[in-house]
């Protein structure tokens, strides 16, 4: 689908803002602090169902009683989201719902300056990045991730208490084992799919014989639900001392391998940027291959971080997509 218009009311620092979008490339120009990223954030909320950087209380304009965002597609569909300092409501075809329905979710490629530092990022940053991508490919994965995160929070809260019974943990252990194995299997599956494409895509950018690979590093790969459950139960004394759950997919990591070495430390600044570009282009390809939809591309002030050659690569590879770009200057 193609976005025609996005309108913001009391969203971040925007009292009111309206953007008419082109079907190919739309530029949002403005100085730092203008609120350019906020426009992309509003688009993301109405296409994915949540913000990529904050919760609703942080988004609403200061001292305002509500925020409202409206998005119109070229096919006539219109989606509205409102938040009144209490709850968020989506309005579609005059019907209200607390969540954005699956059928109205649109795949997005989000490219932020911080993504260029992904390779040297922490395991939690890696998980966050790939979880966001994999959740677009599979609603079942997104659901399992949400339920796993809820269960791990509840289990960790119990572990921090001075007194509790092991039986109090059992139901949370069962849920962690159930959803953890789903998450692990899905992460391994999609990492393999990425690796089927990313090397060739990197070659199309760099035009040399360097190799790129993504690794999925987990202590529970091919672990059954019963094995997972046993490990949680066997680690109880250790977890009580630590005050948190020491085993599970919440400790997974993803690695970047460049010419059979860790990219962090072996790849140059330019090579690192080419690896991230290759990853973004691979994401777009996989989304189209699996979902048969072309993702909308949101580029948040990344042109200033790229040289002219990589800028051209970015434009060339996304030329068949709707692209919305934020920048402090014309590019």
Q: What letter would DSSP give residue 60?
A: B
pTM value?
0.93
Asked if 73 and 96 touch (Cβ cutoff 8 Å), the reply is no
Residue 297 lies in a domain: no
Same-domain status, 144 and 284? yes
Same-domain status, 134 and 253? yes
Using CA atoms, how far residue 236 sits from 149, 172, 203, 222, in Å, is: 19, 13, 48, 22
Task: Give the chain's radius of gyration (CA, Å).
Answer: 21
Helix (H, G, I), strand (E, B) or coil at 13: coil
Same-domain status, 257 and 179? yes
| Cα–Cα distance for residue pair 115/190, rounded to 1 Å | 19
Q: Which pLDDT belongs to residue 86? A: 93
Same-domain status, 98 and 135? no
CA 97 centroid distance within chain:
23
Same-domain status, 140 and 258? yes
Q: Which pLDDT belongs to residue 32? A: 87
Pairing type for strands 67-73 and 95-97 reads: unpaired
Q: Which of 163, 162, 132, 158 is nearest to 145 (CA)?
A: 132
Q: Which pLDDT belongs to residue 304? A: 87
Residue 17 has, within 13 A of its CA and on its CB side, a CA count of 23
Residue 194 has, within 13 A of its CA and on its CB side, a CA count of 26
Residue 319 lies in a domain: no
State the residue range of the domain holding 198. Answer: 123-291
Same-domain status, 255 and 145? yes
Q: How many helices and strands, by DSSP H and E, does the chain display?
A: 10, 13
The phi and psi torsions of 11 (rounded to 5 degrees) equal -110, 115
Q: How many domains does the chain have?
A: 2
Residue 76 lies in a domain: yes
| Cα–Cα distance for residue pair 103/143, rounded to 1 Å | 15
Q: Which pLDDT belongs to residue 221? A: 86
Asked if 105 and 38 touch (Cβ cutoff 8 Å), the reply is no
Residue 15 lies in a domain: yes
Same-domain status, 270 and 155? yes
Residue 118 lies in a domain: no
Same-domain status, 216 and 133? yes
Same-domain status, 216 and 140? yes
Helix-strand-coil split of the chain, %, nearest 5: 50, 20, 30
For residues 187, 254, 105, 304, the Cα torsion angle rounded to the nearest 10 degrees is: -160
Same-domain status, 147 and 92? no
Q: Which of 148, 227, 234, 229 is nearest to 187 (CA)?
A: 148
pLDDT tens, the chain, 331 aa long: 899 999 999 999 999 999 999 999 999 999 888 899 999 999 999 999 999 999 999 999 999 999 999 999 999 999 999 999 999 999 999 999 999 999 999 999 999 999 999 999 999 999 999 999 999 999 999 999 999 999 999 999 999 998 898 899 999 999 999 999 999 999 999 999 999 999 999 999 998 999 999 999 999 988 899 999 999 999 999 999 999 999 999 999 999 999 999 999 999 999 999 999 999 999 999 999 999 999 999 999 998 899 999 999 999 999 999 999 999 887 7
Residue 138 lies in a domain: yes
Q: Which pLDDT belongs to residue 38? A: 97
Residue 48 lies in a domain: yes
Residue 211 lies in a domain: yes
Q: What is the CATH number of the domain that holds 98?
A: 3.40.50.300
Same-domain status, 268 and 166? yes
Q: What is the CATH number of the domain that holds 259?
A: 1.20.1050.90
| Cα–Cα distance for residue pair 154/255, rounded to 1 Å | 29
Residue ending a domain, choose from 42, 77, 106: 106
Q: Which pLDDT belongs to residue 119? A: 97
Q: What letter would DSSP give residue 209?
A: S
Same-domain status, 101 and 15? yes
The phi and psi torsions of 22 (rounded to 5 degrees) equal -85, 155
| Cα–Cα distance for residue pair 250/156, rounded to 1 Å | 12
Q: Which pLDDT belongs to residue 1? A: 86
Q: Which of 148, 151, 145, 156 is nearest to 235 (CA)?
A: 156
Q: Tokens in use for 18?
A: 């309206």
Q: Which pLDDT belongs to residue 33? A: 86
Helix (H, G, I), strand (E, B) or coil at 326: strand
């Amino acid at each position: 689908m193609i976005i025609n218009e996005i309108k913001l009311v009391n969203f971040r620092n925007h009292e009111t803002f309206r953007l008419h979008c082109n079907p190919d490339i739309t530029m949002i120009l403005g100085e730092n602090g203008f609120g350019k990223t906020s426009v992309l954030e509003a688009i993301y909320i109405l296409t994915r169902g949540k913000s990529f950087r904050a919760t609703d209380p942080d988004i609403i304009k200061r001292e305002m009683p509500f925020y409202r965002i409206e998005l119109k597609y070229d096919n006539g569909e219109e989606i509205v989201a409102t938040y009144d300092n209490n709850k968020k409501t989506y309005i579609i075809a005059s019907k209200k719902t607390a969540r954005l329905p699956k059928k109205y979710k649109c795949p997005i490629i989000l490219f932020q300056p911080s993504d260029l530092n992904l390779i040297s990022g922490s395991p939690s940053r890696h998980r966050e990045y790939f979880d966001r991508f994999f959740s677009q490919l599979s609603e079942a994965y997104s659901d399992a991730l949400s339920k796993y995160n809820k269960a791990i929070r509840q289990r960790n809260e119990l572990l921090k208490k001075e007194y509790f019974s092991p039986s109090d943990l059992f139901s949370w252990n069962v849920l962690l084992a159930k959803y953890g194995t789903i998450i692990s299997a899905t992460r391994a599956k999609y990492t393999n799919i990425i690796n089927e494409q990313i090397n060739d895509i990197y070659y199309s950018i760099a035009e040399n014989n360097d190799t790129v690979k993504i690794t999925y590093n987990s202590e529970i790969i091919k672990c059954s639900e019963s094995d997972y459950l046993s490990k949680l139960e066997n680690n109880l004394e250790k977890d009580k001392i630590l005050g948190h759950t020491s085993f599970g997919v919440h400790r997974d990591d993803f690695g970047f391998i460049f010419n059979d070495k860790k990219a962090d430390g072996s790849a140059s600044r330019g090579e690192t940027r080419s690896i991230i570009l290759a990853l973004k282009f691979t994401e777009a390809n996989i989304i189209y291959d699996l979902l048969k939809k072309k993702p909308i591309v949101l580029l948040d002030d990344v042109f200033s971080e790229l040289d002219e050659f990589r800028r051209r690569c970015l434009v060339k590879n996304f030329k068949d997509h709707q692209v919305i770009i934020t920048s402090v200057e014309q590019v």
